[in-house]
Structure 1
Amino acid sequence: MKRLFTLIALACIYNVAAAQGTYKKLDSLFSNQLDAGWLNGNVLIADHGRVIYKNSFGYADIPNKIPNTDKSAFFLASVAKTITSTAVLQLVQKRRVNLDSPYKKYIPEFPYPDITIRNLLSHTSGLPRDKEEIFDTVLKVQPAKKFNFRDIILVLQQYPKPLSFKPGDQFSYSNINYNLLAVLIEKISGMNFDAYLKKYIFGPAEMTGSYLCNPRTAQKADVTKRYSYPKHYYPHLIQADSIPNDTSYTIFWGQGNVISTTTDLLKFDQALYHNKLVNEQLLDEAFKPAILNNKNEVVAGGGVSYGLGWFILRGKGPDKIVFHTGYIEGLRSVIMRNLSKNQTVIILDNAQSFTNFITASNAISILNNTPQEKVKISIADRYAKILFEKGGDIAVSRLVQMQADTSHFRYGVREMDTIANELLADSYTDKAIEAFKINLILHPGDPEMYTSFGKALNKAGKREEAILMYQRALSLKPDDKTIKDSLTKLEQR
């Protein structure tokens, strides 16, 4: 008996030490992200529903230095699609909707008879990606009208859009698919979409801090403000609400607009694991790749498939991992679930940090002692911000330092070209020339670097120098008609 107690004690000590080691590794991962400027928000990691790491980073209100806390709530952006898909699957479970029935069966005025519920859930419908493509024609006729997601059906009747492909032939991510699913839920349930979610998703999962954003009601005080860089080269975050956007639209539910917390998302996650919302058979259907008409699995790109409201991650060994990311101006979100081991990673970020998906994947790797993916800081992005704020001399000296530190920094030639063109388009011509020049010096064998530099020189009134650049580009790519035409126009001026 004494030996048994000793073994139990040793096992407890080992488990505590292992847990502490995992915590330290996770804290190091997220602290490094914070130091690199890639994290401003809340993180929660759970194993079988038990929280093993939870932390808040940065600010909910940056100018006023109000920190993010456990109580901070965030827009979920497209992570909300997992909630919409769950609501649809509930109606399937109740036999009120059939996955393979045409949408038109339930909404007769819908003008595309071949699009099924499964097509909408799996982004294989062929419909346009965003509302702007749906409403572009009607806005010319009614420029003062405010549209919402319920107007999509009527507008598609009046101004039908050709599908990009036959439903089921391809994958093409579309927010419109999920707007239409919200319309379906309202029609079948006889309830407003927000009321449905409250009663059948948020209520049963005990997500007391979650709700749909509604322009008729004020957001709660704990919702974080959202921040982003309006341009790549801009050195300071600004509040996303101050970035101009189209005011022709009001609510577009189904695709996003859910406000929630990391704690509530864990409750949602666990409600799925315990089949409180949808039965296991339907969830298995949601968590496997959709099948196209040619019998191939849907491939969403980058080693990722798509099921019914969930991406499926490949390349992480035998474990089955599903996830969804979200993005709106000033926010990025991700929920990642290792279904094989009941592990959950949630990151909600209100400063649009672009590495959160890789960070979530690395957190899963830490939990399972597998290799992490190295994330390096963009030299082009850092250089451009220093160039804009402090000038070319300081920027180039920092660039030299960053180039020498290859373990932490990477140089992207196309990225630098994009940022330089952004500076040029915004009439920061001298700064654009500096960036183009650096790119050319570092990549003298690339003809595009000469044409880009030539374009900037021409805009600065340096025609002869621009001609030399185009001539050099043509010598590197003598059959390029675009370069020839540009050079001819310059020479004939």
Structure 2
Amino acid sequence: MLKNIPVLFLFLFIIGCQKKPDIKKESTVKDIKGNVSEYAVDFAPLTTVYRKKKRDEIEAFYADKINPKDFSGSFLVAKNGEILFESYSGYAYKEKNDSITQNTPLHVASVSKIITAVTILKLVEQNKLQLDDLVSDILPEFPYKETTVRMLLNHRSGLRNYAYFTEDKGVWNKKETLTNQDVLTLLATKKIGLETTPGKRFSYCNTNYALLALIVEKVTEKTFPEALQQMIFDPLGMKNTFVFSDMSTKEEVSQSYKGNYKRLAFEYLDAVYGDKNLYTTPRDLLQFDLALYSEKFLSTKMKDEMFQGYSYERKGTRNYGLGMRMLEFETGQKYFFHNGWWHGNTSSYVTLRKDSVTIIAISNKFTRKPYDTKRLAPKFGDYPFKFNDEEGE
């Protein structure tokens, strides 16, 4: 029996090593110091044949649908944490001849909502608030007593969009920069009103996520950018990610352009965060996506809350979770994603959970091409999309 002990130890050693993330893997989640993060997860390695086949398919899609000659932005596809294809083209700041690289943060518009939602869910896990807490209990100024944190997350609050109600006569002087606190104060002091009864129906609204950012600040006693830096960006090594909140630094970030490369000016709405104003890269978003597979980063219970639909008052495949859009097909398959559009910035983040695939496209020169990323989904799993190239979608 003693002769078998070395063999047993060798077996246990091999098994133990298999459970540990490979520190040499470029795609392994690492913290801000470059150490393997506690949230790192190992996936099965891809075969050389599989990588080559998928890379060829993605490259053909990219050349046909994205067209790098006219695309200003970044693009990445990964499976099991391994980058299959990535490309960067165009200018972050064309007037300065500042080219986009893998380290160039671009404005991802409403893709920001996913990060905001996960921050709230992590605070719920820490017992610092609950999903069904009343917003007015956290933010006493808030005037609507039936609205919960969950309703903000799944867009069932009935609130009006601040981008629209600040256009109403006498509500806001558009020569002044609007802040998140201003949004709350206007709701409390002006006759803004609701679009619908809280909890009654889904209505996508940026105001929800501007308020969620204030809730993060109230609960953590930190600014929203500081809270995300400590809770999300640093632990996941998202070195090229930040929340834009200071208009005096607008010349230091990537710019936004029309399709003809005419630069779009910043405006009074551009300091509100939570719903937008996240600048990041595909590689950083990949680290975030990989961490979402970790039980340590976000528990299964919270992910179950996040990745379920909440709006079934209308029949159809479209639904919304907590910070996550989804298509729920009759086959039972679910397609998870979030798109963004702000000024000339458009973006798409796709996370195929069943297939551990990440697809990210970001552009700062207006185009709808990032939204075409869903065409890649059927190459990885049973996503029953029907595309008509001649008629469009």
Same fold? TM cut 0.5: yes
1:173-224 CA distance string (max 9 Å, x none)? 1000001111111111111111101111111221111111122563696x53
Q: Equivalents in 2 of 1:33, 1:66: separation in Å?
A: 25
In structure 2, the residue corresponding to 1:205 is in which secondary structure?
Answer: coil
The aligned counterpart of 1:340 is 354
* 2:218 is equivalent to residue 187 of structure 1: yes
Give the TM-score normalised by structure 1: 0.65
Q: Distance in 2 between matches of 1:311 and 1:120?
A: 14
Q: Does the residue aligned with 1:228 lie in a helix, a strand or coil?
A: coil
- Cα distance in 1 for partners of 2:184, 2:232 equals 25
| 1:108 corresponds to | 140
2:305/2:322 contact within 8 Å kept? yes
Give the one of 128, 135, 157 matched to 1:125.
Answer: 157
Q: Name the SS of the counterpart of 2:249 in structure 1.
A: coil
Secondary structure at 1:327's aligned position in 2?
strand
Aligned positions of 1:70-109 closer than 5 A: 70-109=102-141
Say if 1:199 and 1:36 are closer, same or farther in 2 by CA, change over 3 A: closer
Measure, in 1, the Cα distance between the counterparts of 2:112 and 2:237.
Answer: 16
**Residue identity opposite 2:375 in structure 1:** N
Is the counterpart of residue 175 in structure 1 residue 206 in structure 2? yes
Q: Does 1:308 align with 2:308?
A: no
1:338 CA drift (Å): 0.8
Counterpart of 1:227 (choices 242, 248, 257) is 257
Letter in 2 for 1:176: T
Structure having the higher Rg: 1
Distance across 2 between alignment mates of 1:250 and 1:238: 18
Q: 1:362 matched to which residue of 2?
A: 375
The structure-2 alpha-carbon separation of the partners of 1:366 and 1:250, relative to structure 1 and needing over 3 Å to count, comes to closer
- Tell me which moved more, 85-94 or 273-282: 273-282
Aligned residues: 348
Amino acid at match of 1:320: K
Work out whether residues 86 and 277 of structure 1, in 8 Å CA contact, stay in contact via their aligned partners in 2.
Answer: no
Aligned-partner Cα distance in 2 for 1:26–1:341: 16
- Deviation (angstroms), 1:68: 2.5
Instruction: Tell me if structure 1 keeps the 8 A contact 2:111–2:339.
Output: yes
Q: Which residue pairs with 1:279 in the alignment?
A: 299
Which structure shows the higher helix fraction?
1
In structure 1, stretches of 5+ residues that fail to align are 1-13, 230-235, 292-296, 377-406, 413-493
Identity between Structure 1 and Structure 2 (%): 25
Kept in 1, the 8 Å contact 2:245–2:273? The answer is no
Correspondence for 1:352: 366
Question: 1:30 aligned to 2:62?
Answer: yes
Structure with higher RCO (Cα < 8 A, 6+ apart) = 2
Q: Which residue of 1 aligns with 2:30?
A: none
Aligned CA distance change for structure 1 residues 411 and 282 (closer, same or farther; 3 Å): closer
Does structure 1 residue 254 correspond to structure 2 residue 278? no
Q: Taking structure 2 as the reference length, what is the TM-score of the superposition?
A: 0.80
Deviation at 1:143, TM superposition (A): 6.3
Instruction: Tell me the CA shift for residue 138 of structure 1.
Output: 4.3
Taking structure 1 as reference, are residues 26 and 182 closer, same or farther at Cα in structure 2, changes over 3 Å only? same
- Matched with 1:422 is none
TM-superposition CA deviations, 1:268-297 (whole Å, max 9, x none)? 111111134321211111100015xxxxx2
Q: Is the 8 A contact 1:38 1:355 kept in 2?
A: no
Alpha-carbon distance in structure 1 between the residues aligned to 2:388 and 2:98: 28
Contact 1:77/1:328, CA 8 A, preserved across alignment: yes
- Displacement of 1:80 in angstroms is 0.4
Q: Deviation string for 1:58-84 (max 9, x for gaps)?
A: 343456765432122200110000011
Q: Deviations over 1:358-386 (max 9, x none)?
A: x221122223387765464xxxxxxxxxx
CA distance in 2, matches of 1:157, 1:135: 17
Which residue number corresponds to residue 60 of structure 1?
92
Match of 1:396 in 2: none
Deviations 1:311-340 (A, max 9, x none): 012339544321111101111111111111
Is 2:68–2:89's contact at 8 Å kept on the other side of the alignment? no
Confirm or deny: 8 A CA contact 1:134 1:161 kept in the other structure.
Answer: no
In structure 2, what is the equivalent of residue 158 of structure 1? 189
Q: Quick one: structure 1 residues 308 and 237, their matched pair in 2 at CA, closer, same or farther if it must change by over 3 Å?
A: same
Name the residue aligned to 2:264: 240
Q: Deviation at 1:263?
A: 0.6
Deviations 1:10-31 (A, max 9, x none): xxxx942332121111001011
In the TM superposition, residue 46 of structure 1 has moved relative to its aligned partner by: 1.1
Q: For 2:180 and 2:167, locate their aligned partners in 1 and report how far apart those are by CA, in whole Å.
A: 11
Between the aligned partners of 1:146 and 1:327, the Cα distance in structure 2 is 20
The 5 A counterparts of 1:472-487 are none
SS at match of 2:218: helix
Assess, with a 3 A threshold, how the Cα gap between structure 1 residues 238 and 303 changes in structure 2: closer, same or farther.
farther
Q: Give 1:145 shift.
A: 4.4
Which residue in the other structure is 1:6 paired with? none
Q: Secondary structure at the match of 1:171?
A: coil
Whole-angstrom distance in 1 between the partners of 2:96 and 2:174: 38
